[in-house]
């Protein structure tokens, strides 16, 4: 990777080296279990998924408003980097000019204007520029055009539906990412479904830690406007949980399933591959954005969270466009991607 040995990268390299040594000691202490997990991807992914989802459920019940406020601040920018990496770069879709124009242009316009109807045109563009079954392309194109029309006629309703839908889209993308040899992925999926049912059915109290009545009312109006108070609270809890799981999906499960090698990489190796795929300038920009967001949040947490959500809205439709392309063209891991990565990355 260009510039990796430069002075700017040396401190990060040193930090990652320390983390690698700590992890190596922890893995040796946990042998032979750690060796088994390192060699069995699907078992490892299932355990990570179950533990991650259980933690999401516990924190949602204990402090949902803290999760809603801090989740985007802490994990939002890394999640956007993962979206760009796995929905654009890793499948190689950024190298196809037709896709860049057909998907990128509507997304850019929507991001600057906030017009959700135009954003759905990116999904139609993905169908138009895709390489695959004509029938599937027409199905996606028809659905995208209907969504574009509906969003243009009722943008507020469309925004609300999309806010709740995109967490489920992330789970669907993870399930479609790799052809699996076992049913272990059903364990985290079943836990997610059961937990969501519990949050929607049981009369749980909303935790109000570090939130005032005004912020509580604003969140209920944002995520469940017009619903009876009891149902609105359940919808809010369900969304908070699904959003947390969404971060687990993109930051842990998709990376594990996308990687060509079965065993995990070291922290150093992971960063080098990441920088090689996205480029050091983009990662530096993401780091500065995360730092700026954290500073903003230290001054006004809710304003920073709302600002992030407004600027990052494009990624919701980006995931839908990726889902459309996978539906039409097949899984990224089933194509010739791994063959081009024969170096074991």
Per residue in 256-289, pLDDT (tens digit) is 999 888 888 888 998 999 999 999 899 999 999 9
DSSP 32: T
pTM: 0.88
d(CA 311, CA 206): 28
Q: Long-range contacts of range 163-167, CB-CB < 8 Å, 24 or more positions apart?
A: 163/223, 163/239, 163/316, 164/223, 164/239, 164/242, 166/246, 166/316, 166/319, 166/320, 167/239, 167/242, 167/243, 167/245, 167/246
Supply the pLDDT for residue 17.
84
Q: Are 179 and 258 in contact (CB under 8 A)?
A: no
pLDDT at 179 over 90: no
pLDDT at 57 over 70: yes
* Alpha helices (H) along 40-87: 41-62, 64-84
Supply the pLDDT for residue 338.
44
d(CA 276, CA 95): 15
Decide: helix, strand or coil at residue 29: helix
d(CA 148, CA 124): 9
Supply the pLDDT for residue 339.
42
pLDDT at 342 over 60: no
Q: Are 324 and 144 in contact (CB under 8 A)?
A: yes
- Within 10 angstroms of residue 178's Cβ, the number of other Cβ atoms is 20
d(CA 213, CA 234): 17
d(CA 67, CA 55): 12
> What is the mean predicted confidence (pLDDT) over 231-256?
94
Q: Are 327 and 140 in contact (CB under 8 A)?
A: yes
d(CA 17, CA 13): 6
Q: Are 249 and 322 in contact (CB under 8 A)?
A: no
Q: Residue with structure tokens 């959700």?
A: 116
pLDDT at 337 over 50: no
Among 28-32, 48-52, 80-84, 274-278, whose mean pLDDT is lowest? 28-32
Supply the pLDDT for residue 197.
94
Supply the pLDDT for residue 212.
65
Residue 287 CB burial class (10 angstroms; 0-12, 13-18, ≥19): middle
């Amino acid at each position: 990777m260009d510039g990796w040995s430069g002075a700017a990268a040396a401190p990060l390299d040193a930090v990652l080296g320390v983390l690698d040594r700590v992890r190596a000691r922890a893995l040796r202490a946990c042998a032979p279990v750690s060796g088994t997990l390192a060699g069995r991807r699907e078992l490892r992914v299932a355990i990570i998924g179950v533990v991650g989802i259980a933690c999401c459920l516990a924190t949602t019940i204990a402090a949902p408003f803290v999760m809603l406020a801090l989740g985007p601040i802490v994990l939002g920018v890394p999640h956007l980097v993962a979206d760009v990496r796995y929905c654009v770069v890793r499948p190689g879709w950024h190298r196809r000019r037709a896709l860049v124009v057909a998907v990128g242009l509507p997304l850019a316009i929507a991001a600057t204007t906030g017009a959700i109807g135009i954003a759905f045109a990116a999904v139609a563009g993905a169908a138009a520029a895709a390489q695959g079954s004509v029938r599937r392309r027409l199905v996606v194109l028809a659905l995208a055009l209907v969504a574009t029309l509906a969003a243009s006629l009722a943008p507020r309703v469309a925004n609300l539906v999309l806010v709740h839908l995109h967490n489920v889209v992330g789970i669907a993308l993870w399930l479609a990412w790799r052809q699996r040899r076992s049913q272990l992925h059903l364990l985290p999926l079943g836990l997610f479904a059961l937990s969501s049912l519990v949050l929607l059915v049981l009369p749980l109290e909303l935790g109000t830690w570090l939130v005032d009545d005004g912020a509580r009312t604003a969140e209920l109006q944002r995520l469940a406007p017009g619903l009876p108070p009891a149902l609105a609270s359940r919808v809010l809890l369900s969304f908070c949980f699904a959003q947390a799981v969404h971060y687990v999906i993109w930051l842990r499960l998709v990376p594990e399933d996308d990687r060509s090698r079965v065993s995990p990489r070291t922290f150093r190796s992971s960063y080098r591959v990441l920088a090689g795929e996205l480029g050091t300038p983009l990662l530096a920009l993401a780091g500065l954005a995360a730092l700026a967001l954290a500073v903003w949040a230290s001054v006004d947490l809710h304003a920073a969270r709302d600002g992030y959500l407004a600027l990052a809205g494009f990624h919701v439709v980006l995931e839908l466009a990726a889902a459309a392309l996978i539906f039409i063209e097949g899984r990224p891991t089933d194509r010739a991607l791994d063959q081009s990565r024969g170096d074991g990355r």
